[in-house]
Structures are given as C-alpha cells and as structure tokens.
Structure 1
C-alpha cells in the first residue's frame, strides 16, 4: 500500500464582468454520514457473501473490481477515523481476502485430508501482538506470531517472529519470514476492512469468541516441543472483546 504535483494554468485577465458563481452547499449531518457508511458496508457484505472467503473471486476479475470499489467506498466513510486504538484488539474472523497464501492453504487443505476452519487475525494493541491463525478442525492449526507497533491513526507495522504448524500430538516450529504494515481503513463494532503493504485486501468481522494460546510443557516420541494449548472463550453480547 506517490505524490503528484501540477501547475494551475490561468488565462490572461479580461475585463468582461461575469455574474458571480452560485454554489450549492451539500450539508452532511451525523445521521447522513452514518447512513452512508451503513449503506456502503451492506453493499460490500452482499458482494462478498458468496465468494468463499475470496477463492471464487480469484477467477472473476469483474467481481474483484466491484469488491475493491466497494472497499474504497467503505474506506471513504472511515476516512479520518482512528482505527489503531483499543477497539482494534479482538479476534477477527476472515470473510474475504485477496491474500494468495491464505487462499492457497484454504483451497488446498482437502488434499491433505482436512478442511480449513476459521481463519483468524488476533490482535492485542496493548501487548503489541498479532497472531494470524488458520484452524483445521478438530485438532490442527497453523499460526504465525508477530509483534506490532502503531505507526499512525490507521497504520500498524508488524514483524513476524515465529510460525507453528500443530496437530493433535505434534508441533513443527517454522522460522519467521518478514515484516510489513497494514492500514485499517474502516472499523466499527463488528467489521474491519484492511489494505496492506502488498496491495492486498482483508475483510474481517469480530468473532463470537476470543482465541488465545497458552504453553504446556510436554514431549512426544519424535519431537521435544512445547505444544500450544488453544483456548476459545465465548464473547458475551455487549461484553469486552
């Protein structure tokens, strides 16, 4: 996720007197802005509803263009807002994305005898952590740990610190692999829309549960590891994220 400059060319002065311009001032009220935001959000959600988290969009350029246009409309509604505060801390569940790596894993999971469950982005602003999680019910999970730093009202920098592929009785640690940033261009009580450093898009909603990990000392016959205990706690309606 260039600046351009241009000169304004003016004609030579002339003496003919023209009538003064008449301006039509459009008034925006709080309710009209909310209505505009809600309409753009509903349109976006309708467009992505049947896209299988983005898998179907990959082969439909026209649909992708329409969704990106809808994202831009939602981003306009969220322009100027602060989206990197405590409200960003939550377990976010994937609705749609253009990220090829995630879509590849989701699409190809059946080849390995499993299916992808919820795909999550778990953020804790105060703890400066982010976990990207792909679950494979009932026991599998792939997740990438990251550290984060708020860079601006809408931008967060991140750095991958480790990755883990985990089954019921085993765990394979993987090396960290990069850094970048993402902009949360829209955020409300249940929806978040993101553009990132690679130009990818992400639409997520607030999950009905919190994803956390805890460490349990353990070992197996093949791997001496510390398997991750995945905790799911239901979020009470109206409660904390």
Structure 2
C-alpha cells in the first residue's frame, strides 16, 4: 500500500524535474514511510537483489536534474547498473536534443561496503559523447564494452578517485524497487529495468 502511494506520488514528476516544493515534501514523506517497512534489513549483503540495471524514477539530485537545463538537451532515461560480484556501479544518463545528436553521460565507479546498508563509492572513469558515435544500444551492451577495455570516440577519461568519492545508503530494497540516500542529501527511487 505504501509502495503504491509512493509510486503514484512520483508518477507525474518526470524523475523530479516537474516536482514543486509541495510535491517534494509529500514525496519525501512517502519515501520515509516506505523506508520504515524495508523488507531487506541488510541490503548491501543482498547482492542477488542489488545486482542488475536500475532505472531512475525520481531523484532530488541537482547534479542529475540540471542536465535537463543544458541548451538543446533534454534528459532521457537514467540508469544505475550494479555489478555486485565485481563491486562496480555504472551511472548512465541518456540525453536527447537535436536530431541525430542523442548523447549520454556516464560514470563508472567501484564500491566498497562499509555497513549493512552503506557503500563507499570511488569514481574511476567518465565517458560522455554521442550515442551514434559509439553505437550505443543499451546500458548492458555499453557496460559490456567498458568491461572489455574498449576506449570510445567520446570524452573518455579516468577520474582520480581520491578526490571523487561519496557514499550511498540503500534504505529500501525489494525485488523491483530500491531507495537510496547519498552523501549530498539526495534521494533516489529506482525500479529494476
């Protein structure tokens, strides 16, 4: 019931882009009520549930939402792809704008569990460019290319993880919904893709 209430509250918010201050308060209240019912008390250890491609339904992250404010660009789907066995996470934001200039912004990171619900995230690589130039088909295919060591005709560079790290708490996890809270105060609601 509380899960349905949260999903209904975020359904028309375009991942948070359309949320008013009143909407945000109501959504964060629905998030907190659902977190109280977390069926997975040790989510970091539930690798079978964590693993996979997650699509963002809602966020308060200004870093993600401001991508939509760039000239000529609109934010498409956003994915967080977790490879628990390898302790890796891939964040991929698809962007659209002028015809044939569809793009993506991606960050690859390693994570290290530090408690039953928190992971420390160390960013390692950033890749941004045009989907057509790298033959982008899907998050899974893109990750396969990254893991094979492929370099891309895009802005593709390593990140000094000593300066670029954060943490993420998984505060709710079931078979198809995950809620996380990040070190910058952001909330993320994702569904299994």
CA contact (8 A) 1:165 1:174 kept: no
**Counterpart pick for 1:89 among 34, 51, 67:** 51
The alignment partner of 2:85 has SS state of coil
CA contact (8 A) 1:142 1:166 kept: yes
Q: TM-score, normalised by structure 1?
A: 0.64
Q: In structure 2, what is the Cα distance between the partners aligned to 1:103 and 1:46?
A: 20
Q: In structure 1, what is the Cα distance between the partners aligned to 2:11 and 2:5?
A: 10
User: Could you say which residue in structure 1 is the equivalent of 2:63?
Assistant: 101
Q: Quick check: 1:192 aligned with 2:153? A: no
User: Which runs of structure 2 are paired with 1:216-235 in the superposition (5 Å)?
Assistant: none
User: Could you say which residue in structure 2 is the equivalent of 1:211?
Assistant: none
Residue segments in structure 1 that go unaligned for 5+ positions in a row: 1-38, 208-241
1:192 is displaced (CA, Å) by: 0.5
Q: In structure 2, what is the Cα distance between the partners aligned to 1:150 and 1:88?
A: 13
User: Could you say which residue in structure 2 is the equivalent of 1:34?
Assistant: none
User: Which runs of structure 2 are paired with 1:55-74 in the superposition (5 Å)?
Assistant: 55-57=17-19, 60-74=20-34
User: Which runs of structure 2 are paired with 1:29-178 in the superposition (5 Å)?
Assistant: 39-57=1-19, 60-78=20-38, 81-84=41-44, 85-86=46-47, 87-105=49-67, 107-108=68-69, 111-112=71-72, 114-136=73-95, 140-167=103-130, 168-169=132-133, 170-176=153-159, 178=164
Q: In structure 2, what is the Cα distance between the partners aligned to 1:161 and 1:189?
A: 28
Name the count of aligned residue pairs.
Answer: 164
The structure with the largest alpha-carbon Rg is 1
Q: TM-score, normalised by structure 2?
A: 0.79
Per residue, is there more strand in 1 or in 2? Answer: 2
RMSD, aligned CA: 1.8
The alignment partner of 1:165 has SS state of strand
1:150 is displaced (CA, Å) by: 1.3
Residue segments in structure 2 that go unaligned for 5+ positions in a row: 134-152
1:71 is displaced (CA, Å) by: 0.7
In the superposition, relative to structure 1, how do residues 80 and 173 fare at CA in structure 2: closer, same or farther (>3 Å)?
A: closer
Q: What is the CA deviation profile of residues 82-140 of structure 1, one whole-angstrom value per residue up to 9, with x for unaligned ones?
A: 211211111000100000011011x225x33x533210001111101011101236752
Q: In structure 1, what is the Cα distance between the partners aligned to 2:25 and 2:74?
A: 28
Q: In structure 2, what is the Cα distance between the partners aligned to 1:72 and 1:79?
A: 14
1:41 is displaced (CA, Å) by: 0.8
CA contact (8 A) 1:91 1:123 kept: yes
In the superposition, relative to structure 1, how do residues 118 and 157 fare at CA in structure 2: closer, same or farther (>3 Å)?
A: same
